[in-house]
Amino acid sequence: MMINLKKNKLLIVLLVSILGLAGVILLTRAISSGKHGVTMSAHDHGEGVLYQCPMHPQIVQDHPGKCPICHMDLQKVSKESSKPAASEKDKKPLYYRHPMNPSITSPNPAKDDMGMDFIPVYEQGGEAGIPGRSSINITPYKQQLIGVKLGEVKKENLNKTIYTVGRIAFDPMLYQAQEEYLSTLRAYKAANESPVPGAENRAKQLLEASRLKLRLSGLSDGQIELLAGDEGPDESLLITSEDGKVWMYADIYEQELPFVKVGQTVEASLPAEPGKVYEGKIAAIDPVLNMKTRTARIRAQIEAGDQTLRPGMYANAVIWVDMGEALVVPRTAVLFTGKRNIIFVAEGDGRFEPRDIRIGKRGEKMLEVLSGLREGERIAVSGNFLIDAESQLFGAAGGGAFYSGREAAEEISKKPAGES
């Protein structure tokens, strides 16, 4: 009786061992097939739908399940977007990267501390003319995951808004310079009738000097001619006139000066009167730049209608600039690396190509494109930071602002054997 019982126990232990060994073999085969990008199912019953691991795109099957590597639920994708690159098995990997941390790479097959296999990285489409970056394929699910949005390259009016601080003018020096000019003008007219030799030439020299002083103070030739027809200098430079006419000065930075012209409308508002806007026209722009502030002063005459605006007051000034029609893209679509202005063009089927474009005028929300794009092309306007990171992982050495996978592989290959 005891012998039969021992035999039964031995059979049970042997049966459990055989079943456990069979399970290990099946699991090993499943993981091995996932490592090399082979689908986990031999048949394909679905029509247009497959299931793919969001962390390990090489794991694909035709029914719901879990990834054998990270045990995440497989996500439903279309067949076209889940297909691996053509003849990927025949390609030689550029390097191998950690499945959870793409910045950790190895030139040879490796495992991490937890026993997870590094994923082989293959070249995808070359560098597309930008060193360190390549064209890449991103599935629709991944695009949704990283927040990719597409826009269109188009022609439209480019607008710019210039904000600055205005000052209601109290300018006794300019008032005095106007008075000097009018005095030398009267002296020059009198010298024309003088019998004294050389009197006319001396009076003319004084008149030109006083005129140059006005020009350096910011008055245009037209304003000087109008001043010559007036009875005296402009008193609104000292006090507000009865009709509320005042001069407002504002400083414009040198990079914005090309967009500011005489005759443009300026809007002014006072912090003490929110919602009330005063309008004026730019009458003159200083011909000389302030060397300390790198600005040039504009002069605009404002008619308030009352004496609300007083000399010495500060005001918020706004200039609206219409820069005309241009080929434009949103500011969010461009990555500025210092040397390049990179944009990603959507070529269809989840493929993105990096382009180096040349930027022209910069509007409020849009940028002018001088070269590198054509009207009607589709581009990534958001999520492009992550697209660029992926592009550099697949790109060659010599990338821009990021640490590329190829560079990591080269550094690892230089280390002595056995050093991690």
Query: Distance between CA atoms of 133 and 395, rounded to whole angstroms?
Result: 4
Q: What is the dihedral of CA 3, 4, 8, 14, to 10 degrees?
A: 50
Ranges of each domain in the chain: 46-76, 172-234
Question: Which residues fall within 8 angstroms of residue 189, CB to CB, at 6 or more apart?
Answer: none
**Each residue's pLDDT tens digit in the chain (420 positions)?**
445 555 566 666 566 566 555 554 554 444 444 443 434 443 444 456 788 776 666 677 888 888 877 777 887 776 554 454 444 455 667 677 777 676 677 888 888 888 878 877 655 544 446 777 888 888 888 888 889 999 999 999 999 999 999 999 999 999 999 999 999 998 888 888 777 777 888 888 999 999 999 988 888 888 888 888 877 898 889 988 888 889 999 999 999 999 999 999 999 999 888 889 999 999 999 989 999 999 999 999 998 888 889 999 999 999 999 999 999 999 999 999 888 999 999 988 888 999 999 999 999 899 999 999 999 999 999 998 889 888 887 664 333 333 334 444 444 445 454 444
Q: What is the pLDDT of residue 403?
A: 37
For the residues of 342-377, what is the DSSP string, one character each?
Answer: EEEEEEETTEEEEEE-EEEEE-SSEEEEEES--TT-
